[in-house]
Amino acid sequence: MSDSNGQAVHAAALDTFPRLLMHHAAVRPNRPAMREKEYGIWQTYTWAEVAQNVRAIACGLAELGFKRGDRLAIIGDNRPRLYWSVAACQCLGGIPVMLYQDAVAQEMAYVLQDAEIRFAVVEDQEQVDKMLEILPDVPFLAHVIYDDPRGLRHYTQSLLMGLDSLQEAGRIHDRNHTDFLDAEIDKGAGDDISVMLYTSGTTGKPKGVCQTHGAFIAAAQGAMQVDGLTDGEDILSYLPMAWVGDHLFSFAQAMVAGFTINCPESGETVMTDLREIGPTYYFAPPRVFENLLTQVMIRMEDATALKRKLFHHFLGVAQRCGADILDGKPVSTGDRLQYWLGNLLVFGPLKNVLGMSRIRVAYTAGAAIGPDLFRFYRSIGVNLKQFYGQTETCAYVCLQPDGQIKFDSVGKPAPFVEVKLAHNGEILVKGPMLLKAYYKRPDATAESINADGYFMTGDAGFFDAEGHLKIIDRAKDVGKLTDGSMFAPNYIENKLKFFQHIKEAVTFGSGRDYVTAFINIDLEAVGNWAERQGMAYSGYTDLASQSKVYDLIRDCVEKVNADLAADPKMSGSQIKRFLILHKELDADDGELTRTRKVRRNFVAERYAVLIDALFSGRKIQHIETVVKYEDGREGRVSADLRIEEAKTFAPQAAKRAA
Amino acid sequence: MMMNDIAQAAHAQEQANGRRVGDVILDLQNISLSFGGVKALTNISFNVREHEIRSIIGPNGAGKSSMLNVMNGVYHPQEGRIMFRGEERRKMDPHVAAAQGIARTFQNIALFKGMSVLDNIMTGRNLKMKCNMLQHALFWGRAQEEEIEHRMKVEEVIEFLEIQSIRKTPVGRLPYGLQKRVELGRALAAEPSLLLLDEPMAGMNVEEKQDMCRFILDVNDQFGTTIVLIEHDMGVVMDISDRVVVLDYGKKIGDGAPDEVKNNPEVIAAYLGTSH
């Protein structure tokens, strides 16, 4: 992305992240590399400071005996010092392994064993306690380094060490062996493994995906090309570090482009922090956008009549022409004028409240986004786009180019990426961003990369007329009903989840006569609705069982049925019977992955009685479930669940009903 | 010589911060308090040691809150002596007690409902502010520096109690459990050496109680603050206290380590119930 010759020559050597870091420290030493809100103030670290800190951590690790190829576990929220640890580990030719910080200890034990972790850098007492708990299962764990010493003063275990002391030791080491670290960085090569990311494991045990420096750098460069990213971008880093997306946006792209990452003060302050930073480049999974919109709508309902009127009037204008204005399409002068006024009175202030005033590019991925939701953000002038990718491809396969945005596609193949479809509709990809291997799993590696070097994504999809890729479902989840019509569970569930009252849905139908669904209501949205209806309820279980709520949800299900009836391929898979679950599906109970995707098989097994009831025509079914609290204790929830029927539509009748 | 200095410094550090119970700092001797004809406290003696967590338990109306009010000078007992750090205290006013490093929270939350969390905690710094009102009003000279210093302390408290997300929220809009936490924050902002907590966990659910327990233990551990605590939840009291004193009808009926108190037949009869 360099313009001058001098930089181009230099760029050839910038093939690892440590080299990129040292490059930025030399070229833009005083530009902010990271900010973190602490004590109510945004504290800034320049590239030069980051480089110094990374050096200190790296040398400290070396002093402890960290060797090339060693794996370093990194567990915690998005803290600058944890990002530094990633870079420090890479400086020494080690492989950082990030873990989801909210995982319970036993889940962590598997990854620590699999990756044979000897060194771990963790955030605080909570994570230290988890490490100590699983120590008997992970006997080779020799060093646990913690960032925040609070509450740890009386811990006497010899394997514990503060990151401050480690850095201090590192600084001394660096002074005494001035050439050591530079020599280590020189030993690195572009096709070394730069990071190991564990797949969240929708099925089976998690696998460690080994990615090289080259893969992530290529993915970052491609994205920079498409969106014209510069070193002036600001991004909020608030998604788990263990997730490939965060590693791409907050680490790889920031390192390649040299822009600033901002770490929120705490998990609860993200919205405030977002507003204060006003990022220019933003990523959020669809549910974050959805929560924001739900909150805005709820607050608007409590606003004065005049404000409500203004809001809805200009929202109408935005829906009519906002997206076209954003895409640079021709729009009448009258509409433009109205939109300008709307921007002044409504959209501008609204974007400001949401922290989206400065956004040039916003991305969403990970799950399908509802058309209304997508349109809403684009219509108020937020350049929201979608991409497609997975851990194995550095989250980089397809991107929506500016001006060619469709809510139901994921865009065109990104630079350097080749995409083709297998005969069964499975999406195959090839490019520099592909994984090097699954850690210690040559069988899995061989299984997922075919003879021609294409990675088999496991997703089913097709290209539309303009060459945009459309994803339907997981290839293995696409099934058939007994009458032979196609059943794509995700496709239907996404349609259900687009309704604000439905938080989660799981559909069943493969090998059955008809389709049925489990529904999780959205407590906030339905709760607010119930309040306005004057309904009393004591909590989720109570609310979910009320007949008025069933009516509300049936209405949504029937709308989805009408929608499905309109699509000749899908009309056979309309939902005939459904129930509302008595508890929210939860990652702590193993029902969702840590990235909040439904673990279909697990849910089907756990609630087998409910599925039987759905398909046997029963009207009511008792269920008792064990739930796990965050601290590991268990409790029980039981309920009698009602099962209701929903209207289905003949394919021809669809238009009238919709 | 060097080594010695370092060892000494380390020792001093440990003394200042550690969970090491030290000497008696507050000694209550034969305290009796009555309001007109009502005897609230009768001839009660017990002491509080430095760095310990000392609980006062007892049925409703046993005189627990009155006891706290005696400790921080709101009530003046008719009989008895109060020794604080080796000196006898006579007719002390609450603000003098506060200046001596005694802070407290209340059974019924006593915060400024319309003010933000930040401002409420800032009021805890009141006694440490040296500039006059005019300087503060003009935000001029020394006042500016002082404000920044105090804000830093307050921010440390906010981080410690993990309430960053509600920093600017008016207290009246917060749920009860968080208001209790803010009240603790205000007490902590005064950097007390003795912290009196009047039912800090009343009306909380299990999770909130666990959080509060952790904060109390952390305060005690991190800052070495001595804590006197009134609490009804026996599980909590037995878990976190070093010593427990039991009151009933204004009289002391038990005093000692949690296990001793638990097995004291008089205490069981009066408070824990005789059924078992």
Please write the tens of the pLDDT for every residue from A509-560.
988 999 999 999 999 889 989 988 899 998 898 999 999 999 999 999 999 9
Q: Percent of chain A having pLDDT more than 70? A: 96
Instruction: Give the up-direction half-sphere exposure of residue B212: CA atoms within 13 A in the CB hemisphere.
Output: 27
Tell me the per-residue pLDDT of A34-85, one tens digit each, with 9 for 90 and over: 999 999 899 999 999 999 999 999 999 999 999 999 999 999 999 999 999 9
Please indicate whether, in this complex, the C-beta atoms of B221 and A269 are within 8 angstroms of each other: no
Average pLDDT, chain A: 90
- Closest partner CB to A266 (pick from B155, B162, B218): B162
Please indicate whether, in this complex, the C-beta atoms of B165 and A272 are within 8 angstroms of each other: yes
Does B164 contact chain A (CB < 8 Å)?
yes
Separation of alpha carbons B30 and B25, rounded Å: 16
User: How many CB pairs lie under 8 A apart between chains A and B?
Assistant: 36
- Closest partner CB to A266 (pick from B152, B155, B165): B165
Please indicate whether, in this complex, the C-beta atoms of B164 and A153 are within 8 angstroms of each other: no
**Region B138-152 average pLDDT:** 86
What is the number of other CB atoms lying within 10 angstroms of the CB of residue B93?
A: 12
Do residues A119 and A64 touch, judged by C-beta distance below 8 A? yes
Instruction: Provide the pLDDT for residue B13.
Output: 43
What is the distance in angstroms between the Cα of A151 and the nearest Cα belonging to chain B?
6
Instruction: Provide the pLDDT for residue A520.
Output: 94
C-alpha dist (Å) from residue A262 to A276, A277, A279, A286, B129: 11, 8, 9, 21, 34
Instruction: Provide the pLDDT for residue A181.
Output: 95
Kindly report the three-state secondary structure assignment for every residue of A73-109. EEECCCCHHHHHHHHHHHHCCCEEEEECCCCCHHHHH
In whole angstroms, how large is the CA radius of gyration of chain A? 26
Instruction: Provide the pLDDT for residue B272.
Output: 60
Q: Is the pLDDT of residue A2 over 50?
A: no
Residue B7: exposure state from Cβ atoms within 10 A (0-12, 13-18, ≥19): exposed
Instruction: Provide the pLDDT for residue B274.
Output: 54
With b for 16 or more beta-carbon neighbours within 10 A and e for fewer, the A313-332 pattern comes to: ebbebbeebbbbbbeeeebe
What is the distance in angstroms between the Cα of A126 and the nearest Cα belonging to chain B?
12
What is the distance in angstroms between the Cα of A267 and the nearest Cα belonging to chain B?
9
Please indicate whether, in this complex, the C-beta atoms of B218 and A266 are within 8 angstroms of each other: no
Separation of alpha carbons B48 and A302, rounded Å: 52
Separation of alpha carbons B131 and B121, rounded Å: 18
Token pair, residue A105, equals 């200890």
Closest CA to B98 of B79, B126, B140: B126
Tell me the per-residue pLDDT of A298-348, one tens digit each, with 9 for 90 and over: 888 888 999 999 999 999 999 889 888 888 888 899 999 999 999 999 999
Instruction: Specify the higher pLDDT residue, A407 or A249.
Output: A249
The residue of chain A nearest to residue B165, with distances taken between CA atoms, is A269
Task: Using DSSP bridges, classify how beta strands A437-438 and A208-212 pair: parallel, antiparallel or unpaired.
Answer: antiparallel
For residue A35, the 8-state DSSP code is: E
The residues that bridge with A519 in the sheet, in sequence order, are A505, A580
Please indicate whether, in this complex, the C-beta atoms of A150 and B151 are within 8 angstroms of each other: no
pTM above threshold 0.90: no
The residue of chain A nearest to residue B150, with distances taken between CA atoms, is A39
Does B167 contact chain A (CB < 8 Å)?
yes
Q: Is the pLDDT of residue B186 over 70?
A: yes
Question: Which of chain B's residues have a Cβ under 8 Å away from the Cβ of A272?
Answer: 165
The residue of chain B nearest to residue A151, with distances taken between CA atoms, is B218
Separation of alpha carbons A518 and A482, rounded Å: 20
Instruction: Identify the band that residue B3 occupies on the pLDDT scale cut at 50, 70 and 90.
Output: very low
Please indicate whether, in this complex, the C-beta atoms of A266 and B164 are within 8 angstroms of each other: yes
A129, A153, A154, A156: best mutation site toward chain B, by most B Cβ within 10 Å?
A: A153
Please indicate whether, in this complex, the C-beta atoms of A39 and B162 are within 8 angstroms of each other: no
Do residues A363 and A283 touch, judged by C-beta distance below 8 A? yes
Q: Is the pLDDT of residue A203 over 80?
A: no
Instruction: Provide the pLDDT for residue B255.
Output: 92
Q: Strand order of the sheet with strand A412-413?
A: A281-283, A361-364, A384-388, A398-399, A412-413
Please indicate whether, in this complex, the C-beta atoms of A151 and B162 are within 8 angstroms of each other: no
Q: Rounded to the nearest 5 degrees, what angle is found at the Cα of A492, between the Cα atoms of A488 and A497? A: 145
Do residues A230 and A254 touch, judged by C-beta distance below 8 A? no
Q: Which residues of A touch B (CB under 8 A)?
A: 37-41, 150-151, 153-154, 265-266, 268-269, 272, 631
Token pair, residue A350, equals 């609204």
**Region A22-35 average pLDDT:** 96
Does B165 contact chain A (CB < 8 Å)?
yes
The residue of chain B nearest to residue A154, with distances taken between CA atoms, is B18
Instruction: Identify the band that residue B11 occupies on the pLDDT scale cut at 50, 70 and 90.
Output: very low
What is the distance in angstroms between the Cα of A311 and the nearest Cα belonging to chain B?
26
- Closest partner CB to A153 (pick from B152, B164, B221): B221
Do residues B227 and B200 touch, judged by C-beta distance below 8 A? no
Please indicate whether, in this complex, the C-beta atoms of A265 and B164 are within 8 angstroms of each other: yes
Say whether A407 sits in a helix, a strand or coil. coil
Average pLDDT, chain B: 85
B170: Cα separation from own chain's centroid: 24
Question: Which of chain B's residues have a Cβ under 8 Å away from the Cβ of A79?
Answer: none
Please indicate whether, in this complex, the C-beta atoms of B222 and A154 are within 8 angstroms of each other: no
Q: Which of A57-66, A161-170, A445-454, A637-646 has the lowest mean pLDDT?
A: A637-646
Separation of alpha carbons A210 and A96, rounded Å: 10
Do residues A59 and A181 touch, judged by C-beta distance below 8 A? yes
B window 9-38, beta carbon within 8 A of A: 17-19
What is the distance in angstroms between the Cα of A268 and the nearest Cα belonging to chain B?
6
Question: Which of chain B's residues have a Cβ under 8 Å away from the Cβ of A156?
Answer: none
**Region A360-364 average pLDDT:** 93
Separation of alpha carbons A189 and A187, rounded Å: 7
**Region A456-480 average pLDDT:** 85
Q: Is the pLDDT of residue A114 over 50?
A: yes
Separation of alpha carbons A435 and A433, rounded Å: 7
Does B152 contact chain A (CB < 8 Å)?
yes
Does B205 contact chain A (CB < 8 Å)?
no
- Closest partner CB to B165 (pick from A39, A269, A631): A269
Separation of alpha carbons A579 and A554, rounded Å: 9
Question: Which of chain B's residues have a Cβ under 8 Å away from the Cβ of A151?
Answer: 218, 221-222
Please indicate whether, in this complex, the C-beta atoms of A40 and B151 are within 8 angstroms of each other: yes
Please indicate whether, in this complex, the C-beta atoms of A266 and B17 are within 8 angstroms of each other: no
What is the distance in angstroms between the Cα of A301 and the nearest Cα belonging to chain B?
19
Please indicate whether, in this complex, the C-beta atoms of B164 and A154 are within 8 angstroms of each other: no
Separation of alpha carbons A650 and A568, rounded Å: 10
The residues that bridge with A413 in the sheet, in sequence order, are A398
Q: Is the pLDDT of residue A406 over 70?
A: yes
Ranked by mean pLDDT, which of A2-11, A53-62, B9-18 comes out on top?
A53-62
Separation of alpha carbons A117 and A97, rounded Å: 9
Token pair, residue A173, equals 């080491």
Instruction: Provide the pLDDT for residue A373.
Output: 87
Token pair, residue A33, equals 């590399």
Separation of alpha carbons B53 and B244, rounded Å: 9
Do residues A93 and A204 touch, judged by C-beta distance below 8 A? no
- What was the ipTM of the complex prediction? 0.75
The residue of chain A nearest to residue B20, with distances taken between CA atoms, is A154
Q: What's chain B's length in residues?
A: 276
Alpha carbon dihedral A305, A308, A313, A315, in 10-degree steps, equals: 180
B window 206-265, beta carbon within 8 A of A: 210, 218, 221-222
Instruction: Provide the pLDDT for residue B91.
Output: 75
B41: Cα separation from own chain's centroid: 20
Separation of alpha carbons A522 and B60, rounded Å: 42
The residue of chain B nearest to residue A37, with distances taken between CA atoms, is B164
Instruction: Provide the pLDDT for residue A570.
Output: 75
Separation of alpha carbons A123 and A125, rounded Å: 7
The residue of chain A nearest to residue B149, with distances taken between CA atoms, is A39
Q: Is the pLDDT of residue B7 over 70?
A: no
Tell me the per-residue pLDDT of A158-169, one tens digit each, with 9 for 90 and over: 999 999 999 999
Separation of alpha carbons A179 and A407, rounded Å: 53
Q: How far apart are the first and last CA of chain A?
A: 49
Please indicate whether, in this complex, the C-beta atoms of A39 and B155 are within 8 angstroms of each other: yes
- Closest partner CB to A268 (pick from B159, B165, B218): B165
Please indicate whether, in this complex, the C-beta atoms of A268 and B221 are within 8 angstroms of each other: no
The residue of chain A nearest to residue B158, with distances taken between CA atoms, is A39
